[in-house]
Amino acid sequence: MIPSMPTVSVCCITYNHERFLAQAIESVLMQKTDFAVELVLGEDCSTDSTRQIALDYQRRYPDRIRLLLPEKNLGVMGNFLATLQASTGTYIALLEGDDYWTSPDKLQRQVDILEAHPGCTTCIHDAEEFMDDNSIPPRLFSDKYSAVLPKHEKEFTQGDIAQYGWFIPTASMVFRRSALFPIPEWVHSAFSGDYSLHLLLTRTGNIYYLPEVMSHYRLHPGGIMSATQNARIIARNKKQIFETSYYKQMVDARYHGRFNEFLEGLHFDQSARLRQDGNRLESYYNYWKAISVVGRGRTVSHLKQLAYQWYQKLTGK
């Protein structure tokens, strides 16, 4: 039987990962620790053999793997939050079903760090990013985000998260459950579960960074967004606008400018897409939000540009 209170719960969500899930699970099973570890696996009604693979592993390791098998698809965020909620360990480690860990000492190292640094809520590490079809060479997160991730150990604050944005490999995260729960209700409607977690976890402590590579982050080839996906992008923009308003409430006011500039871009894009979709009223509303969110000076500048464009159109100049 799985211990009622494991030290670490590994929160793993999976959907249509039949080619990758076994590698992810094996990377958890190989962990060498002096504490109890459970794998909480949320399988979101895959259309391939992912669920069967999960069931096979659970039968082989009933004392280490706990399955969540919803009867209907919950979506990425719904599955993630349900699996998080079911992870009852003192610490929670994140791993998606198409990524995997590379070091058998990963969990022990990170728990030891958190035990030694009570002012930190989270421990992360470097990771390798690779394309599933090998179309581009693999690279390290510390190279991709070289201006942020150093070659030495470091603590990141919430201000760093607000300033630099997303730079943390998901499969590198181990954090104190008590630092996250209860999860605010707004997160259920957010677009970015990862970045929301980064800001929430730094409300009460820092993030400790280890420069060692201990996980691989898999990228999948994808095509350019087509016109038929316009509705999906509109829905995504709406969620990002929604969550960013809550991000601003969490961080110090000196970082609001960065989020306002992000909102400006989102509203401009939303305005153009809604106009393309024939929704002129909401398009105008988002245009006004775009030109007014940063500040009065930016609003005046945008209005001057708009007036000049109308003048050119009317005069033919």
Residues 102, 103, 106, 108, CA torsion sign: positive
β-strand 100-101 against 120-131: which pairing, if any?
Answer: unpaired
Q: Is the pLDDT of residue 187 over 60?
A: yes
Q: What is the mean pLDDT of residues 250-277?
A: 93
pLDDT computed for residue 307 by the predictor: 57
pLDDT computed for residue 132 by the predictor: 86
Enter the pTM of the model.
0.89
Query: How much is the mean pLDDT over the chain?
Result: 91
| 5 band by pLDDT with thresholds 50, 70 and 90 | confident
The burial of 292, by beta-carbon neighbours within 10 Å (0-12 exposed, 13-18 middle, 19 or more buried), is given as middle
- Domain 8-219 is of which CATH architecture? Alpha-Beta Complex (3.90)
Mind listing the pLDDT tens digit for each residue in 56-114?
999 999 999 999 999 999 999 999 999 999 999 999 999 999 999 999 999 999 999 99
Report percent pLDDT > 70 for the chain: 90
Q: What is the mean pLDDT of residues 278-288?
A: 91
Q: What is the mean pLDDT of residues 180-203?
A: 94
For residue 36, the tally of other CB atoms under 10 A from its CB is 17
pLDDT computed for residue 306 by the predictor: 56
Q: Is the pLDDT of residue 170 over 60?
A: yes
| 26 band by pLDDT with thresholds 50, 70 and 90 | very high
- Asked if the bond preceding 182 is cis, omega within 30° of 0, the reply is yes
Cβ neighbours of residue 181 closer than 8 Å, sequence gap 6 or more: none
Cβ neighbours of residue 92 closer than 8 Å, sequence gap 6 or more: 8, 9, 10, 11, 84, 174, 175, 177, 180
Element (H, E) at 184: none
Q: For the chain, give every domain's residue range.
A: 8-219, 227-315
| 302 band by pLDDT with thresholds 50, 70 and 90 | low
**Structure tokens given for 265:** 């871009």
Q: Is the pLDDT of residue 313 over 80?
A: no
Q: Is the pLDDT of residue 12 over 60?
A: yes
Output the furthest CA–CA distance in the chain (Å, rounded): 79
pLDDT computed for residue 160 by the predictor: 97
CA distances in angstroms from 143 to 23, 110, 138, listed in the order given: 25, 22, 11
Cβ neighbours of residue 119 closer than 8 Å, sequence gap 6 or more: 205, 206
pLDDT computed for residue 227 by the predictor: 45
